[in-house]
Structure 1
Amino acid sequence: MDQISTMSPDAIRRLSDQATKVLLNKPNTASSTQGGWMMIATILIEAWDLYAIAFVLIFVKTDFNPTAFELGLATAAVQGGALVGAQLGGILADRFGRKAIFVTTMILFIILALAQAFARDIWDLIILRFLIGIPLGSDISNGYAYIMESMSKGKREEMGSRWQFMFGVGEVLSIIVITIMYVAGMDHSLLWRVALALGALPAVILLVGRLNLPETPLSLLQRGQFVKAKQVSKQLFNDSLDMLPNQNVRLPKAKLSDFLSVIWADPIKRRATIFSWISNACQGAEFAAWGFYLPVVLVLSGVGVSNNGNITGTNLVTALVFCLATVSGYVAPLMLSKIGHRGVSMWGYGLAFAGLIMGAIGMYYDWKFVIVIGACVLMWGHYWDASNGMTITSMVAPARFRGTASGFGYLFVKGAAFFGAFVFPILSQNLGNVGATLAVSLLSLTGFLAAKFILPEVYGYVDTEDVT
């Protein structure tokens, strides 16, 4: 008679819980760090795709002559696709494992990114950008689950909070490359196609780097694949989980309907998750509304625009702002051990609020220098306030729901980003740039209040919902 057949389901679950506790408290290793970087690097690809189109919209408009509605939809379509992909990818990752999803999403993104170069009209581009959002959203939710399951406490929080650093790198690279093509005199109809298709290049590099990554032992454990979980744990952490039998088992599949009830039952999980949803929504709309349209705001304000209408100066100012923001994104994770998640969020939203107020004042009085300073303050604050929402929602979730929790959290980022990108031009048209900027500042204020009054300090948190 085999070992498993003599054990009760409760006994098997207790062994699984014991192994889960061991894995969640493991020290970091070189292998787990490599996996973390491979996952967080997805943000660089997303940033390229999102910000490249901000710089080439003017050329898309010249080629296709879209309506304002169509142009807004082309801008926001990738966010709409990510809404679908985030939840779908999280659920599928919990069901089929992390690796199958993160390999599939990269392949799909490469194909769709290249296809953008061959769009025949604005609706081709809108549809392609919506489809691109699906693997992007899926990869983010799956990637955060991977980071939380493959790295040690503290380290996984730092890595998860590096998404703004990676976002800044992607933005700066896109600005520099597109500016070089523009200055070199590339035909504008070709430029926008090349710029959007170039996102496939880092995706190919990332796909190759991910092929040798293992599945996470926690994901295998939650699906009853004990034999493989023991092998991967040995590979990542040099621990073969000897408490587990050398046989696979059938464990009850986690029910999606249980997800919210489990989160709501624990006050720490509940408050941290509510904050992460609010924060993800506020920072998503905050950036999509003002940060995404920063080049447009600067051009309309005359910042960096030459007498003959050349926008190279505007691009360089924008690049410098995002270089500063990238530094902010690098610093934010380092501050977690000093001021915690609440401190990082409160400082971030506070500075973003101040920067938006400065920007509104600068535009009202046509003080170009104040507009630039306000943009710098906003971006420094934004790269702090946006750094940890996904980390928190993924970290506090039980392993069996982690992909689902990450995907659900990312819905708030992308839903708000879609709303912000689509609505900001309408607000600017009806309220003017000053009024629209003041309206966006209310998002930053909301995020600050949520961090102060809702978020419990969860730095170093280790989930214990399934652990006995």
Structure 2
Amino acid sequence: MSNATLPETPQPPSPKAARRTGRLFALTGAVVGVIYGYDTGSISGALVFLSRDFHLTEAEKGLVNSVLVFGSIVGALIGGKLADALGRKAAMLIVAGSYAAFVALSACAPNVVVLDVVRFLLGVAIGISIVAAPLYIAESTPARIRGASVAAYQVATVAGIVLTYFVNWGLSGGGHWRWMLGLSAIPAALVMIPLLRLPDTPRWYVLKGRTQQAVEVMATTDPEADAHAEVAAVSAALAAESGGPASSLLRTPYARATLFVIGLGFFCQITGINAVTYYSPQIFEEMGFTGNGQNFLLPSFVELASLVATVLALLIIDRLGRRVVLLSGIGTMVTMLAVLTVVFAMGELHGAATWVGFGAILLFTAAFNFGFGSLIWVYASEAFPAQLRSTGASVMLTADLVANLLIAQFFPSLMAWAGAAWTFAGLGALAFCALLFASAMAPETKGRQLEEIRGYWQNGGRWPELAPAPTPAGPAPEAVL
């Protein structure tokens, strides 16, 4: 697409106005990230009290969590199509409105059946947001701040989980589980106001053939860029990403890459990170932290450590390399799960043993965010060419959510049936399998161009040998005509 076929660029706004618009895009995305993190973690404190009010069995406790994850799988599967059909902005409005409605309804649930139905619908909204929010941010912000903006969304999600634990602690004295679940309805409703003022993304306008609006938005959000050239680049990228049937993932040369991202996605969750997110008050109560709401307060410090670990990984991942960060994170998880197995095997805990258990949970969660949490999407984006990238990411997300569903449903039942020591020993065995899998499958891609990484997978998991440089061999022979 040449500049001659594009409409004239409108008069760009001042740099100050453009920065303000860019911040508004990033801010709305970050607020949605905080709400997503809050809604994911809020059940951890509420479950302690609603279980007593509704007289839940261990299986019913698991269902309260797993039904949310099942809804997330449905939402993730339809999120991309919804964002393409209605627009990124419309998808974000649906997410924000659904968050506001369903968390308010969950807070008013008269029984566990209604609660499960509403949490399934909330899960659908969460699944859509997993797809739509990063897409909306990445496509709305200038290239020079795009990475920071998307990273800010990830940090905002962890910050939302931190916030929910502090709120749970503050409300635990009165057992106010309805307030724990319902408070996020307020920011969810408020974030719809700036969303209504913002345009959709240039990429979506190009996707729908609305080039004039694409140029206008591009000029508004990034006046320093050539709007015509940027829109032409978007058009070229969309053309490159068309095609790519899902069946291609199962055939040479991408079958090995598909196995890697599915395994990575599955191990990311099956090793138990969301057991801590969903059930940490019960875990800390099992350790002996019961006085002064300790079992509600301590998870806040665990998530603060996770926030620090996430930021640290972002700072060093391009210096130390992917494998070092990933394997050290998983290795630390294995070690901490072994420590937890020993701690719980001691029987009734008190004194130093309780704090050793707390330290193990803290380091386990931080290690997850340092390794798995920071690298899973990096590897997903590097494993496939442009035309298969979104499909590959969807496959990994599905594997991730299926494992999350298993943990959410069966962790409390395993704790009750097998005991904490055997439960954490099983998670440790799975984490050790994850370490072996990552050691065998994960390539070191630091400093490699995307084309080189594609060559690694196309060459059966080996880096292609570079052809030797030609050496001078005297005068070239005369060409035969």
Provide the rounded CA distance (Å) in 1 between the counterparts of 2:447 and 2:29. Answer: 20
Determine if contact 1:98/1:146 at 8 Å carries over to the other structure.
yes
Higher relative contact order (CA 8 A, sep 6+): 1
Determine if contact 2:414/2:423 at 8 Å carries over to the other structure.
yes
Provide the rounded CA distance (Å) in 2 between the counterparts of 1:75 and 1:291. Answer: 11
Over 3 Å counting, the alpha-carbon distance change for 1:205 and 1:260 in structure 2 is farther
Determine if contact 2:41/2:277 at 8 Å carries over to the other structure.
no
Selected match of 2:400 from 413, 433, 457: 413
Determine if the alignment matches structure 1 residue 315 to structure 2 residue 296. yes
Which deviates the most, 376-385 or 212-221? 212-221
1:372 maps to 358
- Structure 1 counterpart of 2:310, one-letter code: G
Determine if contact 1:171/1:322 at 8 Å carries over to the other structure.
yes
**Which structure has the larger Rg?**
2
Shift of 1:273: 5.6
Selected match of 2:341 from 337, 348, 360: 360
Provide the rounded CA distance (Å) in 1 between the counterparts of 2:134 and 2:188. Answer: 17
1:224 maps to 209
Determine if contact 1:87/1:408 at 8 Å carries over to the other structure.
no
1:58 maps to 48
Alignment of 1:135-146 (within 5 A): 135-146=125-136
Over 3 Å counting, the alpha-carbon distance change for 1:96 and 1:259 in structure 2 is farther
Deviations 1:280-306 (Å, cap 9, x if unpaired)? 32222321234432221111121x223
Provide the rounded CA distance (Å) in 1 between the counterparts of 2:72 and 2:418. Answer: 29
2:280 maps to 294
Determine if contact 1:116/1:196 at 8 Å carries over to the other structure.
yes
Provide the rounded CA distance (Å) in 2 between the counterparts of 1:67 and 1:153. Answer: 50
Alignment of 1:19-418 (within 5 A): 35-36=25-26, 38-150=28-140, 156-157=146-147, 159-161=149-151, 165-183=155-173, 186=174, 188=175, 191-237=176-222, 238-242=225-229, 258-261=245-248, 274-285=259-270, 286-302=272-288, 304-306=289-291, 312-365=293-346, 366=349, 367-384=353-370, 385-393=372-380, 406-418=393-405
- Structure 2 counterpart of 1:215, one-letter code: D
Determine if contact 1:101/1:142 at 8 Å carries over to the other structure.
yes
Query: What residue ranges of structure 2 are gaps of 5+ in the alignment?
Result: 7-17, 452-481
What TM-score comes out, normalization by structure 1 length? 0.79
Which deviates the most, 446-455 or 78-87? 446-455
The RMSD of aligned alpha carbons is 3.6
**Number of equivalent positions:** 427
Provide the rounded CA distance (Å) in 1 between the counterparts of 2:375 and 2:198. Answer: 24
Shift of 1:52: 1.5
Determine if contact 1:64/1:121 at 8 Å carries over to the other structure.
yes
- Structure 2 counterpart of 1:390, one-letter code: W
Over 3 Å counting, the alpha-carbon distance change for 1:295 and 1:181 in structure 2 is closer
Residue 432 of structure 2 aligns to a residue in which SS? helix
1:430 maps to 417
Determine if contact 2:54/2:111 at 8 Å carries over to the other structure.
yes
Which deviates the most, 199-208 or 113-122? 199-208
- Structure 1 counterpart of 2:357, one-letter code: I
Over 3 Å counting, the alpha-carbon distance change for 1:327 and 1:101 in structure 2 is same
Shift of 1:411: 2.2
Provide the rounded CA distance (Å) in 1 between the counterparts of 2:226 and 2:445. Answer: 27
Determine if contact 1:32/1:151 at 8 Å carries over to the other structure.
yes
Provide the rounded CA distance (Å) in 1 between the counterparts of 2:300 and 2:165. Answer: 6
Which deviates the most, 446-455 or 52-61? 446-455
